[in-house]
Structure 1
Amino acid sequence: MAIEDRVRGPFPLCHLDLHFGNIPFDKEYNLTGIIDWSNAQAAPLEQLSVCPEFATSPGMSDEENQPMVDLKNLVVQSMREMEQDQERKPPLDNPDLDVVGQSNLTPLSTYMASKSAEITYRQYMSSPRGSLFAGKMVAGLIYGKSVSWDQLKEVYGVMPLF
């Protein structure tokens, strides 16, 4: 799901494998670094919202998923605070850029709190084997209960999977 006002950038550096195993802390829980930058790339802002630690599991109850929901809410809240305090500066390679005109761009925290971020995660993380399951989940996120999977198959047709 693309953020319309960000289609042409800016494209931040994105780690692509940022999870607890690549974020080391010392004994006092101070962040000591970020490791495994082998797949880093400049990517659309939406890519930064793809984080397995924020994903709920469809096989778990709401109560079991609550820690992930709470963590995501805390991160979104913290990001909103940082975005509000952030000083707008032009990029180093274009110091004359008018950053005032970019102040109306959708911030990452807004996107992360949206249903679009969940849809992006489900599409990005699905494997070929799990694509049918992911497709059903994404259809549910997009259409809710107003359109069934069977109705979508009627409209778009059915192809053999294998």
Structure 2
Amino acid sequence: MKPIRHRDLLVAFLGAGIVAHLVVSLTYGTLPSFPAPAGVTLGVLGLAEAVAGWILKGRVERRSGSKPVEPLVAARAVLVAQASAVGGALVGGLWAGLLAYVLPRASTVTAAASDTTAAVVGLLCALVLVGGALWLERCCRTPDDPDEQRRDGGSGGGAATR
């Protein structure tokens, strides 16, 4: 299994941001206001994935007192991490597109001022999700992957599932 490319996440983020900005600019007057805590769920998921990564890292490295990770568990964790990273990039792009539209209007339009807060919270929480997902994916790499040793010059840290 190959690690997710950061370039793919950036393309998803930018694409979703452009689409969101276009849709919001065409329909902003008809949209309901966005609640400020709307994106908090993504941040909570990101923190949960970071904690899961920290726990799995100890098990993958076979630290004393921890039981080894079954390969299927590591593969599922990597799949969840990759899906979360893409989902977080897409939703982050949506929040960024909204933010790009409402931020310049926040001083003159009352609704845009409150939507700016929601967009900032949503964008930050989406970035937390992407960060937690990338950390979880990285924690599932085994220290003895020969492909990773070639890329890193022998330092180890390959994917837990190949």
Do they superpose with TM above 0.5?
no
Give the number of the structure with larger relative contact order, counting CA–CA contacts within 8 Å between residues 6 or more apart: 2
TM-score by length of structure 1 reads 0.30
TM-score by length of structure 2 reads 0.30
Higher helix share goes to which structure? 2
